[in-house]
Amino acid sequence: MRVTIYDVAKQAGVGIGTVSRVINNSPHISPKTRDKVLKVIKQLKYQPYVMAQGLARKKTNTIACIVPYFTGYFYFELLNGVQQALSRNGYDLILYSVDLFEKKEDILKRTLRERRVDGVLVSSMTISDNYAAKFIHSKIPVALVDGFHQLLDSITIENHEGAYLATSHLLKLGHIKIGMINGCLNSVPAKIRLQGYKQALIDNNITLDEQCIFNVEPNAEPALRNNDGFNKLAGYIAMKKMLALRKNRPTAVFISSDIKAAGAIKAIQEHGLKIPDQIAIVGFDGIELSEYLGLTTMKQPMFKMGDLAVKILINKIQNGVNNEKVFKQLFHPQLVVRETCGASLVQADYR
Amino acid sequence: MRVTIYDVAKQAGVGIGTVSRVINNSPHISPKTRDKVLKVIKQLKYQPYVMAQGLARKKTNTIACIVPYFTGYFYFELLNGVQQALSRNGYDLILYSVDLFEKKEDILKRTLRERRVDGVLVSSMTISDNYAAKFIHSKIPVALVDGFHQLLDSITIENHEGAYLATSHLLKLGHIKIGMINGCLNSVPAKIRLQGYKQALIDNNITLDEQCIFNVEPNAEPALRNNDGFNKLAGYIAMKKMLALRKNRPTAVFISSDIKAAGAIKAIQEHGLKIPDQIAIVGFDGIELSEYLGLTTMKQPMFKMGDLAVKILINKIQNGVNNEKVFKQLFHPQLVVRETCGASLVQADYR
DNA sequence: CTATTTTATGGAAGCCCTTCCACAATTTGT
DNA sequence: ACAAATTGTGGAAGGGCTTCCATAAAATAG
């Protein structure tokens, strides 16, 4: 029925081992037989059956990518980098999107047991020590992107620096009263961005006004907490609250994610205020959407991060996991100045 | 080393066949042994090894989804539907993104031969008769989304109707001079949308003005042709050209994709014109971005389309392919009125 | 209570590869 | 020229599962 390695071997008048060696271009094979076998392979349109290879090799040539899906664009750009790096190396991508917390556990567990993949890329999620240990023990390499664990390869962004720069930018533009809209503080990036923001104010001798800082409460309704509070609705609601402030309303806001900024902008427009004249905004992430919104933001090199994560994984897959050597890479976010901060305008690039 | 079915069998004091039957909950098994086996499975944390299952069953419980990646948002929403439907059914998703034409062929070929997947979902791509025949012959079910082939299950949108309605909407708002910005005419949707647009004008006794119709030439530079001409840059360039018209410049434009509309809007802003006062716009697709742009558009139910495609595939996978019965489903796009057309405003929904 | 049907169970064969060992053929050294 | 080292090749074993056939046990019938 389907063409197997036996058919090829018979047709070419060689042993199956030889065919296998040709397929995997093992060195010890004479050019003559190689050609002969290759010809038959082409003629029979033979293609090795991945499942069987997987079983025999105990490799799948596949990596899993686990992302919290519904947050959208951020992952989209990351996936692009991942996808390209993978296909360059002949790996396939199995995509898992996680909406609920339990599902995350579920998927981690499955990845661990089923061994359907050779490596796992986890984006924007905390991995419990428990699972970290399990993965290490299983020897399945894991790379965290936009997430950190002491014992796992982690690719992160300098959140403190980013928040600091974003806030500083607003300060330089002359703003004194700068608020912050943030995610849930149980998310590490949110916490650190808050610190960066505070530090910038402190370094400029500005007293903090806690009532201008809007975090998402850990016990908020699910729609607000979704994705650690980095979602449109939460931004919208937070900005509504901020706009309702009777006195000392900020003239500028650092919003710790672009998607929240999108919600916030909507709220501002509904309120009838002008951006950036009456309220200036700087976001965080640099997703494509920010371009359309004219949003000044701290851009994360997501494509690069995805690319790097894949390289790390493939390296470990091919050269074996060495748990002593944990890879940590810190990327620096970059300020992209657009309209919402009130500084000079920059053309969106069309490339 | 790893726990196999043999370990479970031994530990439970049964045969491997019995264990297998428990795993696949085959009917002919006594409750007593089932419980016994299940207990051991839990105790040993046994999880079947997918590769081996795949080899034995000749099923992979995986479907491939092939999308042209770089166009972005459209597929993002589609994938959401796909992903949810799949995970509900215990299937995994292998994602292939295609940038170049050759790569498409490549991936189709691989899917066909490697048999890594049980079914293939192809989005927004034409499948040659050649490959259609190959897939049919291979018995690997294929579903086309936003694409059509006589012999393959196809889920499409009523492009003619959509374009007609979009254009009619502008006509109803009083516009007489309505232009169109379109993709490459060798893409079927582009061709049909053009027809719909023309029909609407004809039905309203408006003479066509070919100079107000901007298709992407098949020999245009690659950046413009990308994704059949449905890209930002092409929209930007087309609008620039339209704005340069000396006389009889349209007061409204139907743009056959939201992403192109995004580019066009940029061009209009640069030109210093006001939307919708000086130029009204209706797009097509209803990607999330349209919401941010305040773009009036014809919304495609992408989530639903993805969901349906998966259902079709899984059905065929589980009940066998019946090539006599080809499934065709036509969805209707829906007009979403926002700011860019100049009709009454509608709140973006925050849910 | 025995004969027949039904239901439950064990395990060999098979799915398609890779890998390793043994052996054959060739090359190198002397 | 022959021994030793090197290179090339065949095919068995093994990877972990499903499935089918044979057999054992239980249920039903007479």
**Residue B268 pLDDT greater than 70, yes or no:** yes
Q: What is the pLDDT of residue A33?
A: 86
Q: What is the rounded distance in angstroms from the CA atom of residue B60 to the CA atom of residue B336?
A: 40
Closest residue, CA to C1' of D7 = A28
B186 and B307 share a domain? no
**Looking at the domain assignment, is residue B229 inside a domain?**
yes
B282 CB contacts (<8 Å, ≥6 apart)?
B166, B167, B169, B170, B252, B253, B254, B255, B296, B297, B298, B340, B341
- Hey, of B95, B107, B265, which one would you mutate to test binding to chain A, going by the most A CBs within 10 A of its CB? B95
Confidence grade of residue B137 (pLDDT, cut at 50, 70, 90): confident
How far: B16 CA to C1 C1' (Å)? 36
pLDDT tens-digit profile of A225-246?
A: 877 898 899 999 999 999 999 8
Whether residue B79 is predicted with pLDDT greater than 90 in this model: the reply is no
What pLDDT does residue B1 have?
Answer: 63
CB contact under 8 A, B45 and A113: yes
B25 CB contacts (<8 Å, ≥6 apart)?
none
Touching A: B residues 249-268, CB under 8 Å: 262-263, 266
Answer left, alpha or beta for residue A170, where phi above 0 means left and psi between -120 and 50 means alpha: alpha
A53-72 burial, b if ≥16 CB within 10 A, otherwise e?
bbbeeeebbbbbbbbbbebb
Per-chain mean pLDDT for chain B: 89
Say whether residue B47 is in contact with chain A using an 8 A CB cutoff: yes
Q: Mark which residues 86-115 of A lie under 8 Å from B by CB.
A: 87, 92-97, 103, 110, 113-115
What is the rounded distance in angstroms from the CA atom of residue B310 to the CA atom of residue B81? 9
Residues A117-146: tens digit of each pLDDT: 999 999 988 899 999 998 998 889 999 998
Same domain, yes or no: B89 and B163: no
pLDDT confidence of B344, banded at 50, 70, 90?
low
Q: From CA B166, how far away is CA B281, in angstroms rounded?
A: 9
pLDDT of residue A107: 87
Tell me the mean pLDDT in the region A321-336.
88
Query: A333 and A284 in contact (C-beta within 8 Å)?
Result: yes
DSSP-assigned letter for residue A347: P
> Does residue A110 sit within a domain?
yes
Looking at the structure, do residues B296 and B165 belong to the same domain, yes or no? yes
Which residue from A60, A69, A95 is facing B51, i.e. has the nearest CB? A60
Whether B62 contacts chain A with CB within 8 A: yes
Q: Which of A307, A312, A315 is nearest to A80 (CA)?
A: A307
Note down the domain range covering A99: 59-157+302-332
Q: What span, in angstroms and rounded, lies between the C-alpha atoms of A65 and A314?
A: 13
Query: Which pLDDT value is given to residue B109?
Result: 85
Cα distance between residue A139 and residue A322, in whole Å? 9
CA of A12 to C1' of D16 (A): 30
Length of chain B: 351
Interface contact flag, B72 A76, Cβ < 8 Å: yes
Contact yes or no for A185/A194 (Cβ under 8 A): yes
- DSSP lists the bridge partners of residue A285 as A299
Report the distance separating Cα A30 and Cα B202, nearest Å: 71
- Per the domain annotation, does B346 fall within a domain? no
* DSSP secondary structure of A192-220: HHHHHHHHHHHHTT----GGGEEEEPTTS
Express each pLDDT in B196-212 by its tens digit: 999 999 999 999 999 99
Kindly identify which residue of chain B lies nearest to residue A84, measuring between CA atoms. Answer: B97
Same domain, A19 and A138: no
* Residue A198 and residue A291 share a domain: yes
Report the amino acid identity of residue A348: A
Residue of A nearest to B265 (CA): A292
Q: What is the domain-level CATH number for residue B67?
A: 3.40.50.2300
Residue A54 lies in a domain: no
Backbone angles phi, psi at A198, to 5 degrees: -60, -45
pLDDT of residue A101: 66
**Which nucleotide minimizes the distance between its C1' and the CA of B53?**
D17
CATH code of the domain in which B32 resides: 1.10.260.40
Same domain for B292 and B310: no
* Whole-number Å distance between alpha carbons of B274 and A71: 32
Q: Name the nearest CA neighbour of B187 among B236, B146, B246.
A: B146
Measured CA to CA, the distance from residue B160 to residue B200 in angstroms comes to 10
- The per-residue pLDDT for range A242-295, each reduced to its tens digit, is 999 988 999 999 999 999 999 999 999 999 999 999 999 999 999 888 888 889
CB contact under 8 Å between A69 and B83, yes or no, is: yes
CA A137 – CA A144 distance, rounded (Å): 17
Kindly report, residue by residue over A167-214, the tens digit of the pLDDT.
999 999 999 999 999 999 988 899 999 999 999 999 999 999 999 999
> What average pLDDT does the segment B104-109 reach?
85
Domain contains A120: yes
Which chain A residues have a beta carbon less than 8 Å from that of B267? none
- What's the DSSP call for residue A45? T
Q: Could you give the dihedral angle defined by the CA atoms of residues A74, A77, A78 and A84, in that order, rounded to the nearest 10 degrees? A: 170
| Span CA (B172) to C1' (D28), Å | 79
Alpha carbons B6 and B269: distance in angstroms, whole number = 69
Confidence of residue A69 (pLDDT cuts 50, 70, 90): low
The pLDDT value recorded for residue A70 is 56
Q: What is the DSSP string of B246-286?
A: SSS--SEEEES-HHHHHHHHHHHHHHT--TTTT-EEEEEE-
End-to-end CA distance of chain B: 48
The tens digit of pLDDT for each residue in A292-325 reads: 888 999 999 999 999 999 999 999 998 877 767 8
Query: CA of B61: which chain A residue's CA is closest?
Result: A116
Q: Are B253 and B278 in a shared domain?
A: yes
Is B36's pLDDT higher than 60? yes
The residues close to strand D, meaning Cβ under 7 A, are: A 13-18, 20-21, 27-30, 32-34, 52, 55-56, 58; B 1-2, 4-6, 16-17, 20-21, 23-24, 46-49, 52-53, 55-57
A122 CA from D10 C1′ (Å): 44
The upper half-sphere exposure of residue A252, i.e. CA atoms within 13 Å in the direction of its Cβ, equals: 25
b/e for A17-27, b at 16 or more Cβ within 10 A? Answer: ebbbbbbeeee
Half-sphere exposure of A144 (CA within 13 A, CB side): 25
Residue A98 lies in a domain: yes
Is there a single domain that holds both residue B233 and residue B144?
Answer: no
Higher-pLDDT residue of B187, A205: A205
Same domain, A152 and A190: no
Instruction: Tell whether B82 and B213 lie within a shared domain.
Output: no
Confidence of residue B168 (pLDDT cuts 50, 70, 90): very high
What's the mean pLDDT in A74-103? 84
Tokens (6 digits) for B11: 């530990």
Residues A149 and A134: their CA atoms lie apart, in Å, by 13
User: What mean pLDDT comes out for the span A63-91?
Assistant: 83
Q: Are residues A214 and A315 both part of a single domain?
A: no
- pLDDT at position A346: 38
Position B351 scores a pLDDT of 35
The verdict on residue A80 lying in a domain is yes
Q: Report the sign of the C-alpha dihedral through residues B65, B71, B72, B74, in that order.
A: negative
Nucleotide nearest residue B57, measured CA to C1': D18
State CA A132 to chain mean position distance.
18
SS3 content of chain A, % helix, strand, coil (to 5): 50, 15, 35
Give the number of other Cβ atoms within 10 Å of residue B197's Cβ. 26
**Is B55 in contact with B114 (CB distance < 8 Å)?**
no
The Cα B280–Cα B287 span in angstroms is 19
Report how far Cα B108 is from the mean position of its chain's Cα atoms: 17
CA of B118 to C1' of C12 (A): 28
Does the residue A278 lie in any domain? yes
Asked whether the beta carbons of residue A80 and residue B92 sit closer than 8 angstroms, the reply is no
Question: Percentages helix, strand, coil for chain B, rounded to the nearest 5?
Answer: 50, 15, 35
Neighbours of A238 (CB within 10 A): 27
The verdict on A22 and A64 lying in the same domain is no
Residue percentage of chain B with pLDDT more than 70: 95
Q: Does B294 touch chain A (CB under 8 A)?
A: no
Residue B215: alpha-carbon gap to chain centroid: 22
Q: State the smallest CA–CA distance between residue B143 and chain A in angstroms.
A: 19
Q: How many domains does chain B have?
A: 3
A168 — phi, psi (to 5°)?
A: -60, -40
**Which of A232, A293, A348 lies closest to B350 in CB terms?**
A232
